[in-house]
Each structure stands twice: as C-alpha cells, then as structure tokens.
Structure 1
Amino acid sequence: MKAAIVGGGVIGGGWAARFLLNGWDVAVFDPDPEAERKIGEVLTNARRALPAVYDRALPPEGLLSFHADMADAVAGAAWVQESVPETLALKHKVLPAIAAAAPDAIIGSSTSGFKPSELNAGGTAAIVAHPFNPVYLLPLVELVGDPATCTKAAEILRGIGMFPLHIRKEIDAHIADRLLEAVWREALWLVKDGIATTEEIDESIRMGFGIRWAQMGLFETYRIAGGEAGMAHFMAQFGPALAWPWTKLMDVPEFNDELVALIAGQSDAQSGHLSIRGLERLRDDNIVGILRALRRSGSGAGGVITAHEESLPDLGQQDGLPVTMRRPVPVTWTDANGHMNETHYLEAGSLASDRFMAMVGADADYIAAGKSYFTVENHIRYLDEVLAGEMLTVTTQVLAGEGKRLHLLHRLWKDGKRLSATVESLLLHTDLQTRRTSLPDEAVARKLADWAARHAGIEAEGAGRFVGQRP
C-alpha cells in the first residue's frame, strides 16, 4: 500500500513515520529543500520510540521516497495526507490538485481548525484527519466529513495502530483542540496575573490530572471522584462550582508582545537547556513508558496498542522451533553500559514462556478459569551483549511436557542469527484456587505432548547446566 504526504513539517513527518513503520510505502512532497533532512530526523526518533511500545515486531518498513512534483508523489496512493500550513487559501489550491492526481485516494487534511465544508468549498471531497504530535506515537485521529469516507478511513487508520474518533458534527477546532484551547486560555491568565509560572502550570498537569486523563479522560475521572454514588453525587457536590469565578474561560488576555515575551522567557528558563531533538526524545521516552503501563492494564491508549498488536502477523518458526518473541530492544531495557541489562534477558524468557503457554491453550481465558503454569526455576547463560534497537528473536524448545511439568529452553538471537543467551525454565501446572500443583486440562496436555514429540530430536545445547560450570 502507498501513502502520500503533502507537506513534510512536524505533522507531515509524523504521518510519514506512522505509515512507513507500519509497512506502507510513503511518498513525500514538500518544496522545502530541508524536508528530507527534517523527516529523516523525525524517522530516527520514530524508529527508536514506536517499536518500543510493542512486544511484537512491526511489519518491515515500507519504501520512503521524496518527489519534486506533487502529482508524481500522490499518483497511485490509497491515502493522501495534506499537512500544508494552516491557510485556507493554500489548502484550496492544494486539495483540488491532489484530487485530480489521485482520484481514488482517501484525502485527509491534518487541519486543526478548518471544517470539511470550508476545505471542500472548491468541490473536493477531503475529510479532516486531525492527528496529535507526535503522530507516530499518539493514537488519536479526529475524523470529520462524509460518513462513508470516514468509515473507510477509520479502517485504514486502525490498521496502522491509530484510534480514529468520528466526530458527529463539524465544528471549529473539532473536539480535542477546543478542550486544549480552554486550558490554554486559562493558563495564559495564570501567567499574566503572576499566579503561576509556565513550569508550575506544567507541573500541575503532569504530576496530577494529566496522568489521570491519560487513562480515563475527564468524565470517567469525575465519576470516580463521586465515590460509590458515582457521577450523580459528583455533580450534586461540585456542580454549584460552575457558577463560581474559578475561570476566565471566555475572557482572553490581549495577545501582545509583552505577553509573548513573558511566556517565551519562562519557557526558555524551564526547558532551554535541552535541544528540541533532545526534548522530543525525552517526551517520546516518557510517552512510551506511559503507553506501556496503559498497555499492561488495557486502559485508554493501551487498549489500542493491544488490539493492534494482536492483529500483527504470526511470528512463524526458526530452525524448526516456534518463534515466541521478536522485538527491537527498547532503551528501557539497557543499562549504563549501553547494553541490555541482565534482568531483561529473564523478562524476554518470561514473555516467551507466556507466549508459548498461549500457543498450547494456557492463555488468558485458561488463567481466568483458575489454572496456569508457575515458573519454579530458571537458568540464564549470557553469551553476547545486545544493544538498544537491535532485533531480538526468541525461539522456544519443549524439553519435557508431561504431567505437571513444563520444561522449556528459550534461545535469544540477536538479529535472528547470533545466539546471545539461553534461558532454561521449569514450570509446574498450578490450580489457582488451591495454589497447589495439578494436572493440566486434557487439551493442553495433548498439545504439549505434540510439541515435545516434535522437538525430541533437536539438540538442546546449553540445557541442564549449573552456575559456574565450565564450557
């Protein structure tokens, strides 16, 4: 599949990275002579960040190309994303040209404020597909426009790991930016009146409600604030505050040079010690951590990542053994020496064991029914260092799978070729009600026996060793 990006700034570059890292070929048109360099830098950050969110490798990257002619860039594209500057006259010039050169493509505009009726005044059929920076990490895309087109667009966007939100009626600035604008206006007054600095305002968000909003949003957060009585109690308790002078929401300070200097100066004092790219990497690392935490519980954006991961292709086999994990090594798995920390070799083995359990039927439903396998012993051999960003592939061999015992040997391969470690694990089947060992269900036992028979003739070099044993 091919996507075309018209306008390669911050948002256009993020779109290019999102499509490219999900296996799409991407063609870029941007008259800026620095576009290729700028998008290359965005891609460097995206390659470092997006794969770290997943426990399964994304599809192989598509082909990236840059074009001097817009018609050439968009020709044959299934999706064209317009991300030119936020000027209606410019969009009225660009959108008809895109439609003429790519008549069968879905045309999405990254506009944060214009409505489809304004965009399509010249007879085009573009929809609003408004993302959030960084596009390659944040899943939300606001869709506004023709319902049938938005439905098709949503299917494509879910396929690249995004969360399409179809807005019921067109409105200036859509949904999210209207909410952000309200907070922004109030923040300007707090700074102007000397009540808080830019840093103090940011601390109030990131240390408190920002984290709550990331996984529950606004209304669900307030519902919990109402206690067991729920939202009704919250509204009864705090509803009168709507009449109190807690905000200057509709009273906007004059946007003059003095206010700009005040905001800019405080922002420089807050973050000026970091370069923009360094600040982006810090932001990306923080978002990855939050998303991985949300992924663990399935809350908020974590549920989107989990659903997308489940749609990724099966990992297949290597050397006659099932591949139970394949993923780039995230920065969070590395230590001060720059290589993968010893604890994460065990984590990789644990994830591989979980994957293999699911393959034989001891999956989430099996565990919910009160049965599982508990690890009782591990032995790890560290054979070669692995660096952040290198692809780690784990294959799993069943050494024994009879009765209560499940004996596995995981091999950890760097770039699929060099053996970097082995993790030997012994697990016992357990009844979660009694917390005692028990026999697995018959269906699980049959699958285990089948795997054990298939692996019986494969050499298990490294198994059965003890700490300190000579090579």
Structure 2
Amino acid sequence: MAAEAAAARPRVALIGSGVIGGGWAGRLVQNGVDTVVHDPHPEAPRRLQEMLENAERAWDRLTLVPRRRGSVTLAGSVAEAVESADVVQESAPENEELKRRLLAEIDRHAPADALVCSSTSGLLPTLLQADMTRPERLVVGHPFNPVYLLPLVEVVAGERTAVEAVDRACAFYSSIGMAPLRVRREVDGFVSDRLLEALWREALWLVHDGVATTGEIDDAIRYGPGLRWAQMGTFLTYRIAGGEGDMRHFFAQFGPALQWPWTRLMDVPELTEELLDTIVAQSDEQADGLSVRDLERRRDDNLVAILQALRSGDDAAGRLLREHEERLLDAAADAIPEVDESEPLRLHGEPVRTDWVDYNGHMTESRYLDVLANASDAFLRHVELNASYLEGGHSLYTAETHIRHLAEAHASDRLDVETQVLAADEKRLHLFHTVRNAGSGTTVATGEHMLLHVDTGSGRVCPMVEPLAGRIGRVASLHAGLPVPEGAGRYIGQPR
C-alpha cells in the first residue's frame, strides 16, 4: 500500500520560487509531494528555504495529523526542472511576454502528457497558450498568498484548453487540500481579484481624500466584515442581513443604496508621489518595526487559528481542512513505521511551542494533556483506528485521566512519549504514557488513561469490532509481560 501511494504521488516542477512559487513549494512539501524548482534569481535558494520554514511552522500548528514531507530539488534550467514532471506550475513575475516565453519553453521540454499550469493572477490563458505546441494542456491555477495555508485556487481554461486538463488540475489541487474554483468563463482578473480590485480602488480613494488612513481602512475590514467573510462570503452574509426574509427582502431594504453615489469604482486616483509617500508612511507605521518574516508568521498564526476555529464548526475552509486531514490520516495508515511491539512504543514526539509556556517560562498544565492526548491518538493510528473505522460508527473515547507533573518543560524542548498498554478488553483500553525530555532523558510527566469503545450514534459503550479489536489485543498481549511502569495506578495525594 505504501509503495502504491508513493507511486501515485505526482512529480511536480515549479518554475519560479518567489512569494507564490515558494508558497506552492511549502504546500507541496507539507503534503508529501516531491518537487523540482527552478528560479534564476541569485537569492532564490535562501528565499525558498525561508518560505519552507514558514510552511513547516504553520502546518505544525494547523494539524496534528502525521504527514510525510516531500523533498525539494533545485534545477539549473527550465528543461532540467520539467523533464520528468507530471505537473508544472509556472509562477514567474506578472509579465505577459515573459510568461509566454517560459510557457513555450516548458511546453518544449516537459513530457507530452504533463499538465502545465500558470499562477497568473489575471492574464488570460488564451494569450498565455498562444506560443505553445500543446496549448490544450495549459490552465491557469491562480492561488492566494500564503499558498501553503489559503486553500482557494482559481482554475481557468483558455480557448484551446482541453476539458480533461481542467479536470486534472482540479483533481490535483484537491489532492493537496485546496478548494479549486472552476471559473466558468475566461475574463480579465478572474473572480476573486476583480472583487479585491474593487475594494482596493475604494481604499485608495479614501486615503487620497483624507477620509481614513491605511491603518483605519484595515481596521474597518479586520474588525468587521473580514471576520464574516472568512466563513460566509458576501451573498450569504447579506442574506442574513435581510433578517427573517430571503434575499428579496434584503434587496427591498438595501437595494436602493446601489443607486447612491457611495463608490468611485469607475475612477482611480492618480498614484502621485505625494499619495505614494502618504501610503508608504502610514504602512510603515502600521508595521511598527516588524520585518516581513515577522508579519508573515503573525499572519500564519492567525490564519491557523481561524482555520481551526472554522474546523470545529465544520464550516467553509474548516470543513475542507477536516476532509483533507481524513485523507492524510488514511495515507499515514498506509505508511505506519515498523516498531517492536514487544517493548513500550515510541510513536509520538513534539516540540514545546512558544505559545505553550506561562509567565514562569514553563509549559502550562493544559499542554501536558495536549501532548498526552496526541500520544493516545498516535497509538490509535498505530492500531489503525482510521477514517473508515470512524465512518462505521465506532470510536474510542477517553473516560478517565491521571497526570503526574514531574519536571519542567520549556519552550523549544523536544518531548518524546513512550506508550505502554496496561490492559485491554472488548470495551476498554488502559494506556500509560511516559513523557521525556528528548535532550536530557528526564521524565517530564506521566499520563494514565482509560478509554472506552463507543457506538458514536448512540453514545453507548459497546464491544470493539475487527480489525481494531485484534490489533489492540495483539499489543496488549505483548505488553502483558512488561514491568508495570512506576506511577501506574497512583491516586492524587498518594505518598511517593
């Protein structure tokens, strides 16, 4: 199964590794896709490495699902990068002549059946495919920054693009956790950027006319409609704004405002040096001395929190994240590492993150439980409690926990967990975790947990079913002869 999964992963070439191309590399690596990158810029390797580090940092917070990391190889030419590719993603600067030249070169050297995609944010694919020998394989795949976190990708066909190429592109983007939006008709700027451009024009006028500063305009978005847009977009938000009636009721109330002279969409302020100086100064004040990398990481942390919050309600991009995690879990189940099950199992480890420590500089109490819960999940993955088992209406729920805090853990410490099955029967699983500092070997904490097997429909305890019952029984039998770990069975306040 693992070999079949590896064979199914596409070979991807990235032409250009700036903000967008580097973001593609980050998403692909985090989804186990090996990538070849070509970018002639002398600073490309450094910039790419920093982008990959940002993606790793963000995905470590985004999901606890185990991930196979893909590799990145640098190529010295376009031909070398694309010679064995199944998918080529071009992310060169937004210059039509440059992109047409690059896409024609890609077309000459890529395998005949390779899919060729452009990250352009607004150039028409009909123009971009004009110099290609095989124009039918060219589609636009326009992502949004940061590509490794934001799931939207607009897929646009040109006049000579084959339907099969669009289908392949949508399937590929879906496989790496994205939400492909199939644009129905080729149009300048596609869909999302046309909406953003309208807002941007209004924002420039508001600064130009002295109505608001750049910071105040951003506040008007981030404290208000931006929070709604993350989950509902524009039309559903306005449907709710109409009260208990439908959209017709909304338009009856607010439709006349469309005739009012509120906007200047057909006009754009001249970008004079004076206006540019104003915008630059106000933007510098907003940044408050933070570097671009600092701002990127702050943005990523906030996006991760929003995505996780949306996932808890199974809404919008959160639902997409949950569904992609299920696919990643199934893929991880096909590549479970071989371990000696006759000994306590080492299945989980993670770093202490900076946001896990309190005012004393120590890991907070709640995070000990996080680490232990993640270790329990790692054991359940090991015995292949996967998405298909959950879909069958069964799971294991934690019913009782006892934690001992034995030593301090600090930011950036690496914690490794050793898991032992103390007992198991048809309805119960009794686990004991030992958490150690990977550097010093010091035991930081232990956790003892009783899990009950339940019917998720009724919420009632029920016997485990195969194949899970047999897998847990096998480990329990092997661990039955191990010494009982120190601290097992303790109660609160018991003398040491």
TM range (shorter): 0.7 to 0.9
In structure 1, the residue corresponding to 2:227 is in which secondary structure? Answer: helix
Equivalent residue letter for 1:310: E
Please state if 1:197 is matched with 2:213.
Answer: yes
Structure 1 residues 240-251: aligned runs within 5 Å: 240-251=256-267
* C-alpha spacing 1:332/1:228, structure 2 compared with 1 (3 Å): farther
In structure 1, the residue corresponding to 2:244 is in which secondary structure? Answer: helix
TM-superposed deviation, 1:402:
6.3
Contact 2:375–2:417 (8 Å) recurs in 1: no
Contact 1:51–1:327 (8 Å) recurs in 2: no
* C-alpha spacing 1:260/1:328, structure 2 compared with 1 (3 Å): same
Contact 2:91–2:120 (8 Å) recurs in 1: yes
TM-superposed deviation, 1:117:
0.4
Contact 2:419–2:431 (8 Å) recurs in 1: no
Contact 2:393–2:457 (8 Å) recurs in 1: no
Contact 2:14–2:35 (8 Å) recurs in 1: yes
Question: Aligned to 2:146, which of 134, 137, 156?
Answer: 134
Question: Aligned to 1:345, which of 353, 368, 372?
Answer: 368
* C-alpha spacing 1:373/1:282, structure 2 compared with 1 (3 Å): closer
Please state if 1:408 is matched with 2:427.
Answer: no
Please state if 1:31 is matched with 2:54.
Answer: no
Please state if 1:81 is matched with 2:89.
Answer: yes
* C-alpha spacing 1:460/1:138, structure 2 compared with 1 (3 Å): farther
State the alpha-carbon separation in 2 of the partners of residues 309 and 392 from structure 1: 23
Counterpart in 2 of 1:301?
A: 317
* C-alpha spacing 1:428/1:9, structure 2 compared with 1 (3 Å): closer
In structure 2, the residue corresponding to 1:228 is in which secondary structure? Answer: coil
Equivalent residue letter for 2:371: A
Equivalent residue letter for 1:130: H
Counterpart in 1 of 2:102?
A: 94
In structure 1, the residue corresponding to 2:461 is in which secondary structure? Answer: coil
State TM-score, norm by structure 1.
0.86
Counterpart in 2 of 1:252?
A: 268
Contact 2:38–2:81 (8 Å) recurs in 1: yes
Please state if 1:21 is matched with 2:21.
Answer: no
In structure 2, the residue corresponding to 1:227 is in which secondary structure? Answer: coil
Structure 1 residues 435-450: aligned runs within 5 Å: 440-443=461-464, 447=469, 450=473
1:422-454 per-position Cα deviation (integer Å, ceiling 9, x unaligned): 3112456899999xxx96224569939847556
TM-superposed deviation, 1:388:
4.6
Equivalent residue letter for 1:136: Y
Counterpart in 2 of 1:226?
A: 242
State the alpha-carbon separation in 2 of the partners of residues 447 and 342 from structure 1: 33
* C-alpha spacing 1:443/1:37, structure 2 compared with 1 (3 Å): closer
State TM-score, norm by structure 2.
0.82
Counterpart in 2 of 1:399?
A: 423
Counterpart in 1 of 2:68?
A: 59
CA RMSD of aligned residues (A): 3.5
In structure 2, the residue corresponding to 1:385 is in which secondary structure? Answer: coil
Counterpart in 2 of 1:111?
A: 120
In structure 1, the residue corresponding to 2:12 is in which secondary structure? Answer: strand
| Comparing 106-115 and 378-387, the one that deviates more | 378-387
* C-alpha spacing 1:255/1:40, structure 2 compared with 1 (3 Å): same
State the alpha-carbon separation in 2 of the partners of residues 115 and 432 from structure 1: 50
Identical-residue share of aligned pairs (%): 45
Structure 1 residues 154-233: aligned runs within 5 Å: 154-233=170-249
TM-superposed deviation, 1:227:
2.9
Counterpart in 1 of 2:480?
A: 456
Contact 1:56–1:327 (8 Å) recurs in 2: no
TM-superposed deviation, 1:289:
1.2
| Comparing 26-35 and 240-249, the one that deviates more | 240-249
In structure 1, the residue corresponding to 2:188 is in which secondary structure? Answer: coil
TM-superposed deviation, 1:136:
1.2
* C-alpha spacing 1:433/1:178, structure 2 compared with 1 (3 Å): closer
* C-alpha spacing 1:330/1:74, structure 2 compared with 1 (3 Å): farther
Question: Aligned to 2:403, which of 374, 379, 394?
Answer: 379
State the alpha-carbon separation in 1 of the partners of residues 492 and 419 from structure 2: 22
State the alpha-carbon separation in 2 of the partners of residues 433 and 304 from structure 1: 23
TM-superposed deviation, 1:99:
1.0
In structure 2, the residue corresponding to 1:407 is in which secondary structure? Answer: strand
Contact 2:204–2:269 (8 Å) recurs in 1: yes
State the alpha-carbon separation in 2 of the partners of residues 373 and 32 from structure 1: 52
Question: Aligned to 1:292, which of 308, 333, 341?
Answer: 308
Equivalent residue letter for 2:432: L
Structure 1 residues 118-129: aligned runs within 5 Å: 118-123=127-132, 124=135, 125-129=137-141
In structure 2, the residue corresponding to 1:13 is in which secondary structure? Answer: helix
In structure 2, the residue corresponding to 1:23 is in which secondary structure? Answer: coil
1:106-126 per-position Cα deviation (integer Å, ceiling 9, x unaligned): 111110011110111113342
State the alpha-carbon separation in 2 of the partners of residues 465 and 28 from structure 1: 55
| Comparing 414-423 and 371-380, the one that deviates more | 414-423
In structure 1, the residue corresponding to 2:68 is in which secondary structure? Answer: coil
State the alpha-carbon separation in 2 of the partners of residues 375 and 50 from structure 1: 29
